[in-house]
Structure 1
Amino acid sequence: MTEAFTLAHFSDVHLPLAHGVGWPHLNAKRALGYMNWIRKRRHVHQRAVVDRLIDDAKALRPDHIAITGDLINLGLPREYETALDWLEKVGAPERVTVVPGNHDIYSALRGDPGVGRWAAYMGGEGDTLAFPFVRRVGPIALVGLNSAVETPPFRASGKLGQHQLEIAAEMLDALGEEGAIRVVLIHHPPLPNLAPPRRALSDAAHLAHLLERGTAELVLYGHNHRTRVDWLPSSRGAIPVVGIGSASAAVPHGDEPLANYNLFTFFRNENGLRIRHIVRGIDGADLSVKKIGEMILTPPA
């Protein structure tokens, strides 16, 4: 790797609902979710904000953009179509990679392809998807995991399952032998105790055990709507595990930050692989985008 490679990371876009929930798709979970959207979330998530962040990232010319889920809210057909239109404006599939979040796989839709509409952005063909998937972009190997499963009302937990974990382990080991820089993409927090049980990844301990073998160089996630860096000890050195806030948050919501995104630059020097981590986001009522913080991802002593 002789040249730097830059990856932009967005999550929890929550594109605004432009319509209600039709009778064919109405159930208890969607009814509750729609009420929550009307009462609270529609005041927080704004399309103009995420578009401003995307424009800011594009001006910095990243080599690739990764989006770790929750593009939509209630899993409705028109939402998937709106999100596909938005993705096409963000970039072509070879420049953008997506993994689904719990709001993207929200509740059953009989006979509807759902997130299959975004298959081209998840390494699939047509509307056919398989997880985990690998996308090679320069020196980076993006490994996409699907932690989104249907849940009852008032729960937003996730699960990978044994089969997906086993395949991911094989993929990550093979990519490591090739010398690829492995970046894992997942929606839910990938480590235990990063979310309460009703919002957590149920098999986070199993994923952490897999990663502890030194099978990744970076892990990216969303879901919590918060910016955070943790370090997972592994046999090959600590792995940075980085979360990011909602990309569309226009106003404060609890202790969640305003809209932001991650920008990672990978480069090698005499000390090996280095990852520069910049957080950019909106700052102030004018919704201007500024650098919030910058660091080299160096494991703590």
Structure 2
Amino acid sequence: MSIYRIAHLSDPHLPPPPGAFGWKDVFTKRLLSRIAWRKKRKVHRPEVLAALVADLKAAAPDHVVISGDLTNFASRTEISAARKWLESLGEPANFTVSPGNHDALAGAGGQERFAIWAPWLGDTGESQFPQVRVRGPVAIFNLCSAVPTAPHLATGRLGEDQLRKLDAALADPAYANLFRLVVLHHPPHEGAVSKRKALDDRHALHAVLERRGADLVLHGHAHEALLGALRGPNGATIPVLGVPSASARPNRHGPARWNAIEIEPRAHGGFDVRIVARGVEAGREGLAELGLFSLTEAVDQRG
């Protein structure tokens, strides 16, 4: 059986373009983010992101998942600039974007603020979630945990309506024999991030996944390489995988990395999944292979 390859990167934190921060923003949470960016810009480097994107393109994956935080202040100028960056990557149908908390940092509007990214969110041409895209043997369930929050908070929330629709989508028999991949920005498992950065309604998501199941959950937000697990139906284990920021030079969280997820259908049902991690190594130019592992074996050893 042929292998389907999905690349996962997250949290590129694109450099703010001119006009990304205006005088009216001093009265919003954007001011705090602007102050924080003075330090963060030393970590999030455009040359690192460019090297990672070049490495990813050379690998020619079948599909690319980007799990949020393309922007820093969520201004209209930034969101528009992020679209231009997405356009530079390739055809929108080959990329799926799940917005992050920085993409909804402040300002009016809900998910409609992402309408300009609609071609990268799903196949409906809308900015509503969840969206389901079928690519090869994979059904991608794209969620949005990005919501505006109070100062000093970076929490996420899916909401009852999105969770209800996810429950129905995961139960749809049309996806029963596909590899069901769930994508969101915030880590859904316990202990991945502090309470002020956590997914507020993660327990409701746990209940949906335990009832309906999934094959893999991808996330960003933590800026670390993380491997976790959630409970699926009948005691099954659902692996959860996160990556560091795609633009980060070596720092306390971990330098830039992307994961190649190789999904191979078995002849008699089910899938074998292998992860190939590629990223920045201190003292070495370019990106290198950091390791590879069987996802099932890694989760079994962890648990």
**Residue in 2 aligned with 1:7?**
6
Task: Provide the rounded CA distance (Å) in 2 between the counterparts of 1:110 and 1:133.
Answer: 19
1:1-301 maps to which residues of 2 (within 5 A)?
2-19=1-18, 21-38=21-38, 40-109=39-108, 114-123=113-122, 128-174=126-172, 178-235=176-233, 237-252=236-251, 254=252, 256-269=253-266, 272-298=270-296, 299-300=299-300
Task: Provide the rounded CA distance (Å) in 2 between the counterparts of 1:190 and 1:294.
Answer: 23
- For structure 2, the residue ranges without an aligned partner over 5 or more in a row are none
Task: Provide the rounded CA distance (Å) in 2 between the counterparts of 1:178 and 1:112.
Answer: 28
* Alpha-carbon displacement from aligned partner over 1:114-153 (angstroms, at most 9, x marks no partner): 3221111012656x41111101111111101111111011
**Is the Cα–Cα contact under 8 Å of residues 229 and 237 in structure 2 kept in the other structure?**
yes
| CA apart distance, 1:167 | 0.5
Cα RMSD after superposing both structures: 2.1
**Is the Cα–Cα contact under 8 Å of residues 28 and 106 in structure 2 kept in the other structure?**
no
Task: Provide the rounded CA distance (Å) in 1 between the counterparts of 2:214 and 2:13.
Answer: 28
Task: Provide the rounded CA distance (Å) in 2 between the counterparts of 1:273 and 1:110.
Answer: 40
Question: Equivalent pairs: percent with the same residue?
Answer: 36
Runs of 4+ displaced beyond 4 Å: 109-113
| CA apart distance, 1:53 | 1.0
Query: Alignment length, in residue pairs?
Result: 296
Task: Provide the rounded CA distance (Å) in 2 between the counterparts of 1:175 and 1:44.
Answer: 45
3-state SS in 2 of match to 1:250: coil
- For structure 1, the residue ranges without an aligned partner over 5 or more in a row are none
* Alpha-carbon displacement from aligned partner over 1:86-126 (angstroms, at most 9, x marks no partner): 10111211110101000001101479963221111012656
**Is the Cα–Cα contact under 8 Å of residues 191 and 207 in structure 1 kept in the other structure?**
no
* Alpha-carbon displacement from aligned partner over 1:275-300 (angstroms, at most 9, x marks no partner): 00111101134541001121001241
Task: Provide the rounded CA distance (Å) in 2 between the counterparts of 1:201 and 1:235.
Answer: 22
**Is the Cα–Cα contact under 8 Å of residues 167 and 212 in structure 2 kept in the other structure?**
no
**Is the Cα–Cα contact under 8 Å of residues 25 and 31 in structure 2 kept in the other structure?**
no
3-state SS in 2 of match to 1:48: helix
TM-score (norm 2): 0.92
Task: Provide the rounded CA distance (Å) in 2 between the counterparts of 1:188 and 1:287.
Answer: 30
TM-score (norm 1): 0.92
Q: 1:285 to 1:80 in 2, by over 3 A?
A: farther
AA aligned opposite 1:11: S
| CA apart distance, 1:270 | 5.8
Moved more, 108-117 or 2-11: 108-117
Task: Provide the rounded CA distance (Å) in 2 between the counterparts of 1:261 and 1:207.
Answer: 25
| CA apart distance, 1:84 | 0.6
**Is the Cα–Cα contact under 8 Å of residues 106 and 150 in structure 1 kept in the other structure?**
yes
3-state SS in 2 of match to 1:65: strand
Q: 1:143 to 1:111 in 2, by over 3 A?
A: closer
Task: Provide the rounded CA distance (Å) in 1 between the counterparts of 2:209 and 2:227.
Answer: 16
| CA apart distance, 1:161 | 1.0
Task: Provide the rounded CA distance (Å) in 2 between the counterparts of 1:281 and 1:247.
Answer: 9
Moved more, 18-27 or 160-169: 18-27
AA aligned opposite 2:36: N
**Is the Cα–Cα contact under 8 Å of residues 189 and 229 in structure 2 kept in the other structure?**
no
**Is the Cα–Cα contact under 8 Å of residues 250 and 280 in structure 2 kept in the other structure?**
no
Task: Provide the rounded CA distance (Å) in 1 between the counterparts of 2:58 and 2:122.
Answer: 26
Task: Provide the rounded CA distance (Å) in 1 between the counterparts of 2:69 and 2:183.
Answer: 13
Task: Provide the rounded CA distance (Å) in 2 between the counterparts of 1:262 and 1:30.
Answer: 31
- The structure carrying a bigger helix percent of its residues is 2
